[in-house]
Every structure is written in structure tokens, then in C-alpha cells.
Amino acid sequence: MTAINIALDGPAAAGKSTIAKQVASKLGMIYVDTGAMYRAITYYYLKNKSQFSDFKNLISNIQINLKYDENKGQRVILNNEDVTDYLRENDVTEHVSYVASQEEVRSFLVKLQKELAEAKGIVMDGRDIGTTVLPNAEVKVYMIASVDERAKRRLKDNQLRGIESNLEQLKEDISKRDEYDMNRKISPLKKADDAVEIDTTGLSIDEVTQRIINLT
Ligand code: C5P
């Protein structure tokens, strides 16, 4: 296993997870999808919010573990339940940026993510990995792509997963989520000063993967 960490940040649907998975597999590293962790808390919040007075209270009732399945990849286990299959549902996507803007949620997950990366060999993707979670990562990449291209990719992705969506709505959702993520108070989405920016518009998965591998 490569004894470095790779931080991969960027806006919604920029292709981070596809690329991160491929980079990790080629370099014998472990891929950690931090968006899935925020989505898992959002899933729990939507199901149980009436029981909790605030996010501090809610977080104190949550335990999150990541498991790796040879075929299915990263699985998110929330209070002993594998919730991975629910994390891409529209309701979760609609509320995740709000939940992810909460201080208690961020400090809980950032701590967990730092611990996961302690032993190195991690490719971690998200919004604040290069700036906050792994500021000392050996390789930092900030991936961007046009909203048009990102919406088209997400549409394809959703079709494969059997999730109903349409292009115009996706463009709107993606732009709204970026706006929220870039303007929140705590660790907003932004390029770390020392990150390498890659515009993936028009590039193939293999080309982007190779560019990142060349940085290691
Ligand atoms: O990457 P993904 O689209 O699954 O992320 C879902 C949401 O989780 C983002 O829109 C953002 O609000 C939040 N997130 C975050 N910090 C991360 C990863 C995701 O705030 N490191």
C-alpha cells in the first residue's frame, strides 16, 4: 500500500468518486467517500428528527462505521444498519447540504475522517478534505467540470441506479448545492491553496486518473 494520502475535493457530481475509486484501485489504496457519511447522517435525521431537540442530541445517538465489500465497495453502517443503498435517494440529496452545514455534524465526521486516514494509504473525496480534514495530504486535487457536464453524468448515474431524475432539475439541484456548500460558515467548499486543479470537462475517466497518478 502506498504510504501517502490523496485529498480529492470539488463541487457536486464532478466525478470525484469514480476517479477516486479508480486511483485507489490502481495504487492499492483505500477509497473513503466522505459525502456518503454526511448522507448517512441526513438519512437518519430525516427519519428521526422529531425525537431530537438539536443536532448535538442527534449526533450523540449516532455511530458510523465504514466497511469494505469486495464487490460493492464502501458500505456505511449507521447504528449497526447498512444504510448505503438509501444514500442517493432524492430526499437525502435535497437535505444533505443543510445537515452538513451544522457544526456538530462536521466536528463529529471530521474527527472520524482524520482517524481513518492516520495510517495513510487513503484516497478521500469530499468538499473540505484538502483544507480541513487532511491539510497535510501528500497530494491534493480540486476537480471541476461545467454544470452541464456534471448534470449529464449524474443523469446517467441515476439511470443506472434506477433513480428518477431529469436534466434541467439536476442542473438546478447541483448549482443550488454548490452555492450552499461554498457559502456555509464552517469549512466551505474551496480549493486548498496547494491543490492542483483539474478541469475534467471533456476528459475521460482514464485521463483524469492518470493525471492524478502522475502527481504521486
Ligand atoms: O459528495 P456528495 O455529493 O455525496 O456529498 C453530499 C453533500 O455532503 C455535499 O453536497 C456537501 O453538502 C456534503 N459534504 C461536505 N463535506 C464533505 C463531503 C460532503 O460538506 N467532505
pLDDT per residue of the chain (216 residues) written in tens, 0 to 9: 569 999 999 999 999 999 999 999 999 999 999 999 999 999 999 999 999 999 999 999 999 999 999 888 999 999 999 999 999 998 999 999 999 999 999 999 999 999 999 999 999 999 999 999 999 999 999 999 999 999 999 999 889 988 889 999 999 999 999 999 999 999 999 999 999 999 999 899 999 999 999 999
Q: Is 107 within 8 Å of 180 (Cβ atoms)?
A: no
Per-residue model confidence (pLDDT) at position 163: 86
Q: Is 107 within 8 Å of 59 (Cβ atoms)?
A: no
CA geometry: angle at 176 spanning 171 and 181, to 5°? 125
CA geometry: angle at 109 spanning 162 and 141, to 5°? 75
Per-residue model confidence (pLDDT) at position 74: 94
Q: Which residues of 25-36 are buried (b: 16+ CB within 10 A; e: fewer)?
A: eebebbbbbbbb
Ligand 1 is surrounded, with C-beta below 6 A, by 12, 34-35, 38-39, 96-97, 100, 126-129, 177, 181
Report how far residue 200's alpha carbon sits from residue 150's, in angstroms, rounded to the nearest whole number. 10
Per-residue model confidence (pLDDT) at position 2: 65
3-state secondary structure the chain: CCCCEEEEECCCCCCHHHHHHHHHHHHCCEEEEHHHHHHHHHHHHHHHHHHCCCHHHHHCCCCEEEEEECCCEEEEEECCEECHHHCCCHHHHHHHHHHHCCHHHHHHHHHHHHHHCCCCCEEEEECCHHHHHCCCCCEEEEEECCHHHHHHHHHHHHHHHCCCCCHHHHHHHHHHHHHHHHHCCCCCCCCCCCCEEEECCCCCHHHHHHHHHHCC
Residue from 96, 140, 184 to probe ligand 1 pocket by mutation (most atoms less than 8 Å from CB)? 96
Per-residue model confidence (pLDDT) at position 216: 96
Residue 24 among known ligand-binding residues:
no
Beta 122-126 vs 139-144: how paired, if at all?
unpaired
Residue 135 among known ligand-binding residues:
no
Q: How far is the CA of 74 from the centre of ligand 1 (A)?
A: 16
Q: Which atom of ligand 1 is nearest to the CA of 100?
A: 20
Residue 15 among known ligand-binding residues:
yes
Report how far residue 110's alpha carbon sits from residue 133's, in angstroms, rounded to the nearest whole number. 6
Q: Is 99 within 8 Å of 38 (Cβ atoms)?
A: yes
Q: Is 196 within 8 Å of 177 (Cβ atoms)?
A: no
